[in-house]
């Protein structure tokens, strides 16, 4: 039990479970999954499907943040690739043709890779601060998307092959979930079954030292931005393929913030050096479940305020001041710990997030501290 709770993932998972239960409380049919035309439907499936683009973008963001960077341009890159793919399919003679769709998707993904490489070049070769370097594309990328679409709103809804990416089904499961899952598995294998993950963490902890140790830090930094660009491009395809109308101004708008939020909730510190892909996955699900809950139980209009409160609480919990305060609290009252965690999990429920913030503290902190010092 103690091992389970000291795991880095335990608290995000508990929060997710609490959120799911809260959703169930307001909507008793929340866990119902029905089969229509041989495909799965239901609120949970819906949440998973909507989480797919965020999961993808947050995956790339996790690796970027692990190298002490940040990628603000992901929303713009998503808009760029989504606009290009939709535009070239719409303007082609045969929208239903698989060849047309495949070409459009391939070119869009290459554009996303180039965008990522551009960010990587600015950060790794020119040594510009990541926030600033990716800011350039964040501003200009959406502009390029507008130029591609000639300032029109796109209606990419009558190409079945393209629709598959974001709204289609394969083996009864939404294709976007499978796609995001596949990329997630691939990333997990690459970073955890090879040395790549360790190298990324080494660069994030100390680039100079890792360079001295023989790690090609610039190559690694370059690669994570390329990967982030690719993920953003793929997410852009998902976002546009599923929508009946897409405006380059609004495709993936502020998705970079959701992705960063998912990463932070998942326990990856913004200071870089260590990352948790599973945590990011849980973080992305938390965001989508939270959105679903807020929309049903409170009001769609308060989603942003709610998210802001969550970000603030999560950040405060990670802050050195609160951490040392809680550590003091924790060491003094060691016998009292069993009562701490369950209450904390309850308090992480949406409605009480702000006022009970400190109470949910012991949760994140000790584990955080243990992993850091060990």
Partner 1 sequence: MTITESAVAAARPRRRRFSRYAQYSTVGITVALLALMLVAGSLLYPNFTSGQALLDLLGKNVFLLPLAVGMTFVIISGGIDLSVGAMMALGSVVAATLLQAGWSAPVVIVAVLLIGSLLGLLNGVMVSYFGIQPFIATLASMFLARGLCLVITDRSIAIDNPFFQTMNTAHLDLFEVTSTNLRGKVRVSDVYTTPSVVIALAVLLTAFAVLHYSRFGRTVYAVGGNESSARLMGMAVSRTKISVYVISGLCAGVAGLLFAFYTASGDPVAGIGYELNAIAAVVIGGTLLAGGTGYVLGSFLGVLVLGVIYAFKEFDGDLNTGWTRVMIGVLVLFFIVIQRLVVRRT
- Which letter does DSSP use for residue 154 in this model? B
Q: Which of 302, 328, 338, 343 binds partner 1 (CB under 8 A)?
A: 302
Q: Which of 47, 137, 220, 277 binds partner 1 (CB under 8 A)?
A: 137
Instruction: Retrieve residue 136's tokens.
Output: 């350039």
Q: Which stretch binds partner 1 (CB under 8 A): 39-47, 131-139, 165-173, 342-350?
A: 131-139
Instruction: Retrieve residue 129's tokens.
Output: 């601060």
Q: Which is nearer to partner 1, 137 or 179 (CB)?
A: 137
Q: Quick check: 322 binds partner 1 (CB under 8 A)?
A: yes
Sign of torsion over alpha carbons 100, 106, 109, 114 = negative
* Positions 144 through 163 that interact with partner 1 (CB under 8 A): 144-148, 150-151
* Positions 180 through 239 that interact with partner 1 (CB under 8 A): 208
- Write the DSSP assignment of 5-20 as a string of letters: HHSTTHHHHHHHHHHH
Q: How far is the CB of 93 from partner 1 (least distance, A)?
A: 25
Q: Quick check: 260 binds partner 1 (CB under 8 A)?
A: yes
Q: Kindly list the distances between the CA atom of residue 72 and the CA atoms of 84, 118, 138, 147, 340, in Å, as whole numbers in the listed order.
A: 20, 13, 6, 20, 37
- The span from the CA of 322 to the CA of 326, in Å, is 6
Q: How far is the CB of 65 from partner 1 (least distance, A)?
A: 11
Strand partners, 36: 39
Site string for partner 1, 25-64 (x = CB under 8 A): ----------------------------------------
Q: What is the dihedral of CA 270, 50, 20, 351, to 10 degrees?
A: 70
Q: Which of 19, 20, 47, 70 binds partner 1 (CB under 8 A)?
A: 70
Query: What number of chain residues touch partner 1 (CB under 8 A)?
Result: 50
- The span from the CA of 322 to the CA of 58, in Å, is 26
Q: Quick check: 142 binds partner 1 (CB under 8 A)?
A: yes
Residue with tokens 């209606």: 155
Q: Which of 107, 113, 117, 136 binds partner 1 (CB under 8 A)?
A: 136
Instruction: Retrieve residue 15's tokens.
Output: 């929060």
Sign of torsion over alpha carbons 219, 224, 229, 234 = positive
- Which letter does DSSP use for residue 334 in this model? G
| DSSP 3-state of 126 | coil
Site string for partner 1, 84-123 (x = CB under 8 A): --------------------------------------x-
Cβ–Cβ < 8 Å for 71, 64: yes
Q: Which of 99, 127, 352, 355 binds partner 1 (CB under 8 A)?
A: 127
Residue numbers at the binding site for partner 1 (CB under 8 A): 70, 122, 126-129, 131-133, 135-148, 150-151, 208, 248, 257, 260, 264, 270-271, 301-309, 311-312, 315-316, 318-322
């Amino acid at each position: 039990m103690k091992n389970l709770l000291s795991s880095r993932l335990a608290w995000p998972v508990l929060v997710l479970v609490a959120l799911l239960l809260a959703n169930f409380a307001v909507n008793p049919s929340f866990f119902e999954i029905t089969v229509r035309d041989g495909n799965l439907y239901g609120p949970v499936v819906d949440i998973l499907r909507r989480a797919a683009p965020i999961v993808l973008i947050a995956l790339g963001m996790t690796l970027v943040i692990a190298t002490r960077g940040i990628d603000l341009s992901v929303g713009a890159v998503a808009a760029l690739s989504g606009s290009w793919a939709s535009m070239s399919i719409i303007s082609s003679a045969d929208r239903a043709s698989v060849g047309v769709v495949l070409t459009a998707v391939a070119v869009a993904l290459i554009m996303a890779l180039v965008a990522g490489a551009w960010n990587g070049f600015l950060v790794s070769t020119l040594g510009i601060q990541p926030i600033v370097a990716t800011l350039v594309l964040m501003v200009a990328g959406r502009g390029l998307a507008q130029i591609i679409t000639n300032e029109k709103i796109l209606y990419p809804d009558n190409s079945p092959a393209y629709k598959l990416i974001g709204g289609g089904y394969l083996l009864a499961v939404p294709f976007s979930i499978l796609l995001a899952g596949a990329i997630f598995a691939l990333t997990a294998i690459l970073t955890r079954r090879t040395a790549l993950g360790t190298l990324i963490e080494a660069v994030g902890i100390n680039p100079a030292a890792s360079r001295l140790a023989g790690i090609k830090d610039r190559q690694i930094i370059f690669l994570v931005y390329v990967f982030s660009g690719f993920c953003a491009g793929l997410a852009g395809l998902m976002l546009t393929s599923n929508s009946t109308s897409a405006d380059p101004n609004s495709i993936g708008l502020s998705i970079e913030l959701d992705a960063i939020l998912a990463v932070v909730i998942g326990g990856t510190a913004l200071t870089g050096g260590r990352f948790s892909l599973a945590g990011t996955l849980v973080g992305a699900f938390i965001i989508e479940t939270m959105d679903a809950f807020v929309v049903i139980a409170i009001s769609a209009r308060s989603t942003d305020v709610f998210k802001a409160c969550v970000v603030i609480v999560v950040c405060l919990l990670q802050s050195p001041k609160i951490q040392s305060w809680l550590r003091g609290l924790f060491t003094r009252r060691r016998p009292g710990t069993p009562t701490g965690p369950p209450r904390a999990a309850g308090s992480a429920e949406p409605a009480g997030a702000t006022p009970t913030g400190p109470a949910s503290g012991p949760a994140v902190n000790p584990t955080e501290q243990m992993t850091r010092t060990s």
